[in-house]
């Protein structure tokens, strides 16, 4: 038919897809990623404070401080993404119980307060010691941190330990809610085929634990190497086994999600299959579910099942941790950006290109992601994060 003969109200030159751009980009990728690091690091801390896994004692306080540092900046990507970030505080003064994002404001801020109180309880004795040991302005600083209490009785340590364990136990379900809700937000969006699954909250939570544990071990390995201090090989072995088990469960959930959707072969599969075999083939099939999953499973399996000792144990666990950190990051990208690549018309895909210098570009994401590590470095200048017995110099090689 000649286009000139079409009715006046007809659309001319209308092509699919009808989406102009991907609305949720890199900022919404690193937002759940950093939130996951908060939950994962806190779980490691709770392994000692709650479940009394003695092998994790040398890194329990380290994990707690790291969780707090990541938590400080978990909401920053959202503020960058918002068109009016100066109005973000209104989420607290205009509560909306039916909005997942509104509830998140209270869950997130409450969790940060819990972390701060637990850190204060654990280091209260140190604050009092420093207040009595120093003078001048520093004495005032440490006295303020000790809330004006400059005496520490033997009974106080017992009560502080019990209260810290209570807060750690309370923080476990809180951490699960904090990150599980992110998967809930995506899973409840029925209009996007790649997101609409009841497994989404569990996948986000399990991958959060994996990424938090992996990132924490990379930090630990780097700090011990930088200070030329002994690694706690007993802890590393236990840590590698725990990380291996955690990722096996996470990977099983990711595979289960794909198998269920493909077996059901409903309307969603007609959209998801071309997506996975097309735009997401490299990042999902080859990256997330392929090399970045199979390789760490094999490496951690060797470390866990065989008698790997010494520095080889640290090297292999670090390698696997690096791959798992990347695996979860790629997974976040595939979920957040990948789900939006499906055209709203159901025909064709939206093009996505990485931007570097824009407000929500790669450079901004790198700066935000670096902030928790800077915060940890500053805090570590003032607090004795690692147990003293683990701070022994390694012999020169």
- Give pLDDT tens digits for 202-247: 898 899 999 999 999 999 999 999 988 889 999 999 999 999 999 9
390: pLDDT confidence band, cut at 50, 70 and 90?
very low
Whether residue 240 contacts residue 307, with contact meaning beta carbons closer than 8 Å, is answered with no
- pLDDT of 294 reads 96
Residues 6+ apart with CB under 8 A from 119: 64, 65, 68
Residue 217 CA to residue 208 CA, distance in Å, equals: 14
pLDDT at 249 over 80: yes
Residue 288 CA to residue 331 CA, distance in Å, equals: 6
For residue 17, whether the previous peptide bond is cis, meaning omega lies within 30 degrees of 0, is yes
Mean pLDDT confidence for 239-264: 92
Mean pLDDT confidence for 163-191: 83
3-state secondary structure 162-214: HHHHHHHHHHHHHHHHHHHHHHHHHHCCCCCCCCCCCCHHHHHHHHHHHHHHH
Range among 17-21, 69-73, 387-391 with highest mean pLDDT value: 69-73
Locus of tokens 């096996």 = 248
Of 113-122, 172-181, 228-237, 325-334, give the lowest mean pLDDT range: 172-181
pLDDT at 117 over 60: yes
The structure tokens listed for 307 are: 């008698």
Mean pLDDT confidence for 233-262: 93
- pLDDT of 396 reads 38
198: pLDDT confidence band, cut at 50, 70 and 90?
confident
pLDDT at 8 over 80: no
- pLDDT of 397 reads 36
Residue 204 CA to residue 24 CA, distance in Å, equals: 17
Mean pLDDT computed over every residue of the chain: 86
- Cα distances from 6 to residues 15, 17, 18, 190, in angstroms, run 16, 22, 21, 35
Of 129-143, 152-166, 193-207, 383-397, give the lowest mean pLDDT range: 383-397
346: pLDDT confidence band, cut at 50, 70 and 90?
low
For the chain, list the domains and their CATH numbers. Answer: 19-389 (1.20.1630.10)
- Cα distances from 131 to residues 42, 48, 151, 187, 204, in angstroms, run 28, 28, 10, 50, 43
- pLDDT of 380 reads 93
What would the pLDDT profile of 39-71 be if each residue is shown by its tens digit?
899 999 999 988 888 999 999 999 999 999 999
pTM score of the predicted model? 0.87
Question: Which one, of 88, 62, 87, 63, lies nearest residue 75 by Cα?
Answer: 88
Length of the chain in terms of residues written: 397
303: pLDDT confidence band, cut at 50, 70 and 90?
very high
107: pLDDT confidence band, cut at 50, 70 and 90?
confident
% of the chain residues with pLDDT over 70? 91
């Amino acid at each position: 038919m000649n286009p000139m003969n079409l009715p006046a109200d007809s659309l001319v030159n209308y092509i699919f897809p009808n989406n102009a751009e991907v609305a949720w980009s890199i900022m919404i990728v690193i937002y759940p990623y950093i939130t996951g690091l908060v939950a994962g690091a806190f779980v490691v801390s709770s392994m000692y404070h709650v479940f009394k896994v003695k092998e994790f004692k040398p890194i329990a306080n380290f994990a707690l401080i790291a969780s707090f540092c990541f938590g400080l900046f978990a909401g920053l990507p959202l503020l960058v993404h918002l068109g009016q970030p100066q109005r973000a505080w209104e989420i607290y003064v205009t509560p909306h119980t039916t909005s997942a994002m509104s509830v998140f404001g209270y869950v997130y801020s409450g969790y940060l307060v819990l972390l701060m109180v637990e850190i204060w309880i654990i280091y209260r004795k140190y604050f009092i010691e420093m207040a009595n040991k120093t003078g001048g302005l520093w004495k005032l600083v440490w006295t303020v941190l000790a809330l004006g209490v400059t005496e520490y009785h033997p009974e106080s340590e017992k009560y502080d330990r019990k209260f810290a364990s209570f807060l750690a136990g309370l923080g476990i379900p809180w951490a699960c809610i904090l990150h599980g809700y992110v998967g809930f937000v995506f899973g409840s969006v029925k209009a996007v085929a790649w997101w609409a699954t009841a497994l989404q909250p569990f996948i986000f939570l399990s991958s959060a634990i994996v990424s938090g544990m992996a990132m924490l071990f990379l930090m630990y390995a780097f700090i011990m190497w930088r200070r030329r201090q002994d690694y706690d090989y007993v802890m590393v072995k236990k840590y590698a086994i725990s990380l291996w088990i955690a990722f096996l469960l996470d990977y099983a959930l990711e595979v289960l999600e794909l198998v269920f959707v493909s077996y059901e072969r409903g309307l969603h599969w007609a959209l998801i299959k071309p997506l996975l075999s097309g735009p997401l083939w490299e990042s999902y099939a080859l990256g997330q579910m392929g090399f970045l999953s199979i390789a760490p499973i094999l490496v951690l399996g060797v470390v866990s099942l065989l008698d790997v000792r010494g520095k080889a144990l640290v090297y292999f666990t670090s390698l696997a941790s690096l791959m798992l950190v990347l695996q979860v990051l790629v997974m976040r990208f595939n979920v957040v950006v990948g789900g939006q690549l499906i055209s709203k018309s159901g025909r064709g895909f939206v093009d996505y290109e990485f931007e570097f210098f824009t407000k929500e570009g790669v450079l901004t994401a790198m700066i935000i992601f670096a902030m928790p590590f800077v915060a940890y470095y500053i805090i570590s200048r003032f607090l004795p994060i690692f147990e003293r017995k683990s701070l022994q110099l390694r012999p020169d090689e």
